C-alpha cells in the first residue's frame, strides 16, 4: 500500500462525504487525498474557495444552482476527478454550494468520495468557528478538523490565527500569550471549537505541518490530551502534507 493510501485509511477518506474544517492545510489535504484516491472523486466547498489549481488533474464545473448537478454528472461520465463550485464576483475565488445541494449531488451522482471544504481560515494556522460556521452537509460521514502543528508554542496573534476572540473564548489563551498543547487540545475537543456543527459524523482530527521532531513532540502531546478530554473521537492523525510520505503518526486512545 502506498504512503498516500495509508493516509486515506488513517483519515477514513475512501467513501461518502468527507468534510474539512479548521486551519493549517485544509486545501492541501483535500488535493492530496483526491489525487491519491483510485476511484471517482468530487471536490467542492460550502464556503468561498480559491480557484482550483491548474496543475490538479481534474475536470471543472463552475455553474449555478440549476445547472451544476447535470453538469457534474456529465463531467463524471468522462473524468474520474471533478471539482465543482458556483461562480463568484470575489476576486480569485469561487462561491461555495449550499450544504443541502452538496448532499443532493452526493445522493444523485455516482461519486465514490466527495471532499468538502466547509469553512474558511484566511490561510492561518489555527482558528475557532463563529456562530454560523462551519457549513457541513447533514449527510457528512466524516469531519476532519485541521490545525497546524506550527501554531503550538507560538504566540497568539492574527498573523497565525483566525477569529482570535473565539480562540480566546474556547481555549482560554489571550492574544500575546503562548499557545500550549493543552489549549489546542481543548480546541479540538470542545463543542464550540472543532466539534461545532458536526452532527453524527465520525470525527478524526488532523494535526498538519508536523515538519520536525519538536513539532512532532508538541503535536503528540496535544493529541494525547485531546483524546483524554472527550470521547467523540478515538484517534488523532499527525501528518505533513507536503512531504512524499505525509503520514507521521496516528495517536490512538
List the chain pLDDT tens, one digit each, 253 residues: 788 999 999 999 999 999 999 999 999 999 999 999 999 999 999 999 999 987 778 999 999 999 999 999 999 999 999 999 999 999 999 999 999 999 999 999 999 999 999 999 999 999 999 999 999 999 999 999 999 999 999 999 999 999 999 999 999 999 999 999 999 999 999 999 999 999 999 999 999 999 999 999 999 999 999 999 999 999 999 999 989 999 999 999 9
Give me the pLDDT at residue 57, please. Answer: 83
Give the Cα separation of 84 and 72 in Å (integer): 7
Task: Assess contact for 114 and 42: CB atoms under 8 A.
Answer: yes
Query: Model pTM?
Result: 0.97
Question: What pLDDT is attached to residue 133?
Answer: 94
Helix, strand, coil in percent for the chain, rounding step 5 = 30, 25, 45
Specify the pLDDT at position 81. 97
In this prediction, residue 139 carries a pLDDT of 95
> Are the beta carbons of 142 and 11 closer than 8 angstroms?
yes
> What's the rounded Cα separation, in Å, for the pair 121 and 47?
11
Cβ within 8 Å of residue 114, ≥6 positions away: 16, 17, 18, 41, 42, 43, 44, 102, 105, 106
Residues 40, 186: Cα–Cα separation, whole Å = 36
Quick one: pLDDT at residue 48?
A: 96
Left if phi > 0, otherwise alpha if psi is -120 to 50, otherwise beta: which for 231? alpha
Q: Alpha-carbon distance 165 to 134, whole Å?
A: 17
Amino acid at each position: 500500500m502506498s504512503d498516500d493510501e495509508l493516509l486515506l485509511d488513517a483519515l477514513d477518506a475512501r467513501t461518502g462525504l468527507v468534510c474539512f474544517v479548521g486551519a493549517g492545510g485544509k486545501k492541501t489535504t483535500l488535493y492530496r487525498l483526491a489525487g491519491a484516491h483510485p476511484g471517482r472523486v468530487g471536490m467542492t466547498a460550502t464556503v468561498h474557495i480559491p480557484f482550483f489549481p491548474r496543475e490538479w488533474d481534474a475536470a471543472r464545473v463552475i455553474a449555478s444552482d440549476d445547472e451544476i448537478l447535470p453538469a457534474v454528472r456529465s463531467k463524471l461520465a468522462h473524468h474520474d476527478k471533478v471539482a465543482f463550485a458556483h461562480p463568484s464576483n470575489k476576486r480569485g475565488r469561487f462561491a461555495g454550494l449550499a450544504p443541502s445541494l452538496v448532499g443532493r449531488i452526493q445522493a444523485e451522482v455516482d461519486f465514490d468520495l466527495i471532499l468538502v471544504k466547509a469553512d474558511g481560515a484566511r490561510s492561518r494556522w489555527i482558528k475557532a468557528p463563529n456562530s454560523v460556521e462551519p457549513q457541513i452537509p447533514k449527510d457528512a460521514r466524516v469531519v476532519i478538523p485541521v490545525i497546524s502543528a506550527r501554531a503550538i508554542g507560538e504566540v497568539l496573534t492574527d498573523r497565525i490565527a483566525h477569529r482570535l476572540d473565539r480562540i480566546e473564548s474556547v481555549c482560554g489563551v489571550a492574544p500575546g500569550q503562548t499557545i500550549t498543547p493543552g489549549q489546542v487540545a481543548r480546541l479540538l475537543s470542545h463543542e464550540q471549537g472543532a466539534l461545532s456543527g458536526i452532527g453524527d459524523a465520525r470525527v478524526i482530527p488532523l494535526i498538519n505541518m508536523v515538519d520536525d521532531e519538536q513539532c512532532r513532540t508538541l503535536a503528540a502531546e496535544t493529541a494525547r490530551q485531546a483524546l483524554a478530554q472527550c470521547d467523540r473521537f478515538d484517534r488523532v492523525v499527525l501528518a505533513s502534507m507536503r512531504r512524499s510520505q505525509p503520514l507521521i503518526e496516528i495517536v490512538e486512545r
